[in-house]
Structures are given as structure tokens and as C-alpha cells.
Homo-oligomer: A and B are copies of this chain.
Amino acid sequence: MLRVLDERKSIEFYKTAFGLQIADRLDFKDFTLVYLVNDESDFELELTINKGRSEPYDLGDGYGHLAVSVTDLDREHARLQGEGLQPRKLVEFAPNGEKIARFFFITDPDGYEIEVLERGGRFK
């Protein structure tokens, strides 16, 4: 669960970036909960929108990121740029000469980091 400021912006981002659709939306007096899913995984992303909150959330330094995997990392990077989003540069992670992972990061409207990994090895 992530707390976000602008429901519309966040839903648009997660739809465009990761094909996530609204599975459910629960609206209460003080807050709204939105559950986002896609067909590729049983993972759900829950967004909480606290009504009346306008101050940006403090993301701290403990929580790192969510991660998703894609089949074709280069194509996905290009697609996201084409959608007007700002994926950061492609990284090949090979600390001891052996490639462990290829990935890039992208930031959601509230600044949460999401790692997009190329599928392969353990990263299904």
C-alpha cells in the first residue's frame, strides 16, 4: 500500500506504465482505497488517498522500491518514453563482470521508485 496525493494522476500513471487496472475502489469519509491489478501477476497495488492531504508524503530512507519484470526491456523503455514518461537510463548490473540484471527505474507521481527488470534467471 502506498499513500498518494492525486488519485487520477496515480491511476493514469500505473495504467500507462504497467497496464494496471482498477479492481476495486472503496470510498470513505476521510480516505479512498484503490486496488490495481493486471493479468500477469497475482500482485495487487493498493493506493490510499487521504482526503484533504496536500503536503507531499515523506518517503523516508528505508523503503526502497517496488519491482516488476518485462520480457523486452529496451522496447518497454522506448514505449514509456513515447508515452511521455521519464524512465531513467538502462543499467546493466554486472558488479563482478557477470551480468546479474538489466533494469531501469521510473518514478511515480509521488516520487515512489519502481524498478523495471528484464525477465531472466530469477526475475520472472
A residues in contact (CB < 8 Å) with B: 1-3, 23-24, 26, 28, 35, 41-44, 46, 48, 57-65, 67, 95, 100, 110-112, 115, 122, 124
Contacts and interface: CB of A to CB of B under 8 A. Distances in A.
Contact of A2 (B24, B26, B62): B62
Given A2-B63, A63-B112, A122-B35, A100 B58 contact: no
Given A3-B63, A28-B95, A44-B122, 18 more contacts: A1-B64, A1-B67, A3-B62, A23-B122, A43-B43, A44-B67, A46-B64, A46-B67, A48-B64, A57-B60, A57-B61, A58-B60, A58-B61, A58-B62, A59-B60, A60-B60, A62-B111, A62-B112
